[in-house]
Amino acid sequence: MQSILVTGGLGYIGSITITELYKAIGKYYKIIILDNLSNSNIQVLDTITSIIGEKLDLYIVDIQNQTELKEVFKKYKETNPINYIIHFAALKAVGESVENPIKYYQNNVVGTLNLLNCAEEYKCQNFLFSSSATVYAPGEFVDEEAPFKPSNPYGETKVVIEYLIRSLSKKGGRYLCLRYFNPVGATKDGKLGEMPNKPNNLFPYIEQVAIGNLQQLYVFGNDYNTHDGTGIRDYIHILDLAEAHVVALQELIKRDEKKENYYDYFNIGTGKGFSVLDIVNEYSKLVPIKYQITDKRAGDVAILVANPNKTKEKLGWVAKRGLTEMCQDSYNFIKSKQ
């Protein structure tokens, strides 16, 4: 049996993707988790175990540590060689990346270089990378051929890694970059979701207001050129995002079996934009969300929405879940954590 190595597998997107991946192909592949716990906690493994009914192998390893990383590849070489990598591990706080660009380049870029180095040494040539919509300039219905124009060091690290992957793919192998828009929500059972130490993003902040831990939401600006003046984003349900990974990995598997070289990049979004006040109104159907308009947040853009057509045409994937479900599952999750 071959292995799939999931870096950052205890994080928000990684953990939920693992449960979906296990359901889809867990019978045929061994799933190995690697995480340094810098933004997650070890109890997530128990939650994953309780959902899938099997305890997966976990390595508490930092991808910046090439020696330890190699040990993991070596350990499985004879029995369950690592033939696929889903690379989630990264730091992702935009503000922190502005404060400390070196930390972000070190963790995200150097860490990925290490991982790709090990992959090369151990002849693993199937790589699925978590990229981001932050690689683009703001816009509506942004397609994959839009030029890279990141506005912060976090986004820059994604661009640098995408360039590296593109160059590497010319030597052969199979590489996919998925550019996520705004993942939100949680699993239906409320067991897995996003639990940041300090809520910065919209949904985690609203969740804290919803359960009374924070008094009100501060809406960052209401004079953008949008229908109600507040910023518009393409929110995508985390289960849709997890399913996109299953589809993408299956594409890699198919191409690997045929020994075809492959390189592509896809937007993972819904193609629908919602403003901050649209979200507040929808969430307020479940529980009142008090808010106050305040100054714009530095570096924010008015609108960023995906054109998801290429993903639909070439991968056959479309997001199925709407805003009502995103809010319901988010509220269900945070209530269950109280």
Q: Any bridge partners for residue 132, and if so which?
A: 180
- Residue of 201, 222, 284, 332 that binds ligand UDP (CB under 6 A): 201
Angle, CA 266 vertex, CA 263 and CA 269 arms, to 5°: 165
- Residue of 218, 256, 264, 284 that binds ligand UDP (CB under 6 A): 218
Instruction: Assess 205 for contact with ligand UDP (CB under 6 A).
Output: yes
DSSP string for 265-299: EEEES-S--EEHHHHHHHHTTTS---EEEEPPPTT
Residue 220 touches which member of ligand NAD, ligand UDP, none, C-beta under 5-8 Å by kind: ligand UDP
Grouping H, G, I as helix, E, B as strand and the rest as coil, residue 174 is: strand
Grouping H, G, I as helix, E, B as strand and the rest as coil, residue 123 is: coil
Residue 319 touches which member of ligand NAD, ligand UDP, none, C-beta under 5-8 Å by kind: none
291 is catalytic: no
Phi, psi of 115 (to 5 degrees): -65, -45
Task: Select the span of 62-70, 113-121, 168-176, 218-226 touching ligand UDP (CB under 6 A).
Answer: 218-226
Residue closer to ligand NAD (CB basis): 164 or 293: 164
Q: Any bridge partners for residue 183, and if so which?
A: 236
Residue 328 touches which member of ligand UDP, ligand NAD, none, C-beta under 5-8 Å by kind: none
Residue 3 touches which member of ligand UDP, ligand NAD, none, C-beta under 5-8 Å by kind: none
| Rg, Å, the chain Cα set | 19
Residue 107 touches which member of ligand NAD, ligand UDP, none, C-beta under 5-8 Å by kind: ligand NAD
Instruction: Assess 300 for contact with ligand UDP (CB under 6 A).
Output: yes
Q: Which of 85, 80, 79 is nearest to 111 (CA)?
A: 85
Instruction: Assess 209 for contact with ligand UDP (CB under 6 A).
Output: no
Report the length, in residues, of the chain.
338
Q: Which of 18, 332, 298, 57 is nearest to 190 (CA)?
A: 332
- Residue 179 CB, nearest approach to ligand NAD (Å): 8
CA distance 247 to 250: 5
- Binding positions for ligand NAD, rule: CB under 6 A: 7-8, 10-14, 35-40, 62-64, 88-92, 107, 111, 130, 132, 180, 182-183
- Residue of 220, 256, 272, 309 that binds ligand UDP (CB under 6 A): 220
Grouping H, G, I as helix, E, B as strand and the rest as coil, residue 79 is: coil
> Site residues (CB under 6 A) for ligand UDP?
182, 200-202, 205, 217-220, 231, 233, 276, 297, 300
As annotated, the active-site residues are 154
